[in-house]
Amino acid sequence: MRPAPPSFRCLITAGPTREHLDPVRFLSNGSSGKMGYALARAAADRGWQVDLVSGPVALAAPAGVDVHPVISADDMLAACEPRFARCDLFIAVAAVADYRPQTFHAEKQKRPKDALTLELVPTVDILKTLAARKAPRQLVVGFAAETHDVEAYARRKLAEKHLDWIVANDVSGTETGMNADANTVLLLGANGARQEFGPAPKLQVADFILRNVVP
């Protein structure tokens, strides 16, 4: 296969999202954004045009990458939508909060004296929404963060979200996966490909993913 030209466009989501209860409190996920930022850097190093839609993280923008900061899942989808239509490769790495409070309070709520029950509603599935609009020329890659039955759950997400590839990682330990500097991944393709990689620094993992997905 011919190498992707420098005009190749890549869209990546990274980091956690936040769903606010009030101006100071929110629901979120434990995610440093390191894997998504490493992928953005590896993509920019290939000369590609890279849009990185990022939840709140403590990481510097990789050189040559257009970073679009967002807070909530709805913000993330809105930032991705126009950019998805013109990308060649979409990689969803973000740890999107699965629920948001049904009610947002514009003023900070006082600490309750008794137990508090929150009514939560599901957030939008960004990856599934965009993958459903995929043109034949586009490639869509998802991540699956799992603590058990990693391969089985990843295969299910590959099929249910209509992806070309899924990167499964075991987040049950602390050495690799979320927040760590290294990762061990299992890359599964809709074409039947199956490859393991790592443990390795996240930039090497990013390079492994890109060279398999865009050979």
Task: In angstroms, give the least distance from the CB of 29 to ligand CTP.
Answer: 8
Among 12, 27, 42, 96, binds ligand CTP (CB under 6 A): 96
- Which of 63, 62, 68 lies closest to 13, judged by CA? 68
* Cis preceding linkage at 201, omega within 30: no
Token pair, residue 118, equals: 């929150």
- Of 213, 194, 192, give the one whose Cα is nearest residue 10: 213
Nearer to ligand CTP, 79 or 144 (CB): 144
Closest CA to 103 of 90, 88, 117, 118: 118
Residues in region 136-195 near ligand CTP by CB under 6 A:
142-145, 157
Size of the site for ligand CTP (CB under 6 A): 16
Q: How far is the CB of 39 from ligand CTP (least distance, A)?
A: 11
Q: Considering the rule CB under 6 A, would residue 98 count as an interface residue with ligand CTP?
A: yes
Which ranges of the chain would DSSP assign to H, the alpha helix? 34-45, 73-85, 126-131, 150-160, 202-213
Active site amino acids: 29
Residue whose CB is less far from ligand CTP, 49 or 169: 169
Of the candidate spans 44-52, 62-70, 101-109, 125-133, the one that interacts with ligand CTP by CB under 6 A turns out to be: 125-133
- By beta-carbon proximity to ligand CTP, the closer residue of 147 and 195 is 147
Report the nearest approach of ligand CTP to the CB of residue 167 (Å). Answer: 8
**183, amino acid identity:** N
- Tell me the closest approach of the beta carbon of residue 25 to ligand CTP, in angstroms: 20
CB 74 within 8 A of CB 123: yes
Three-state DSSP class for 40? Answer: helix
Edge-first strand order for the sheet with 49-54 is 65-69, 49-54, 9-14, 89-92, 139-146, 165-170, 182-189, 194-201
Q: Which of 27, 40, 65, 73 binds ligand CTP (CB under 6 A)?
A: 73
Contact range with ligand CTP by CB under 6 A, out of 110-118, 119-127, 131-139, 177-185: 119-127
Binding site for ligand CTP (CB under 6 A): 13, 73, 92-94, 96, 98, 123, 125-127, 142-145, 157
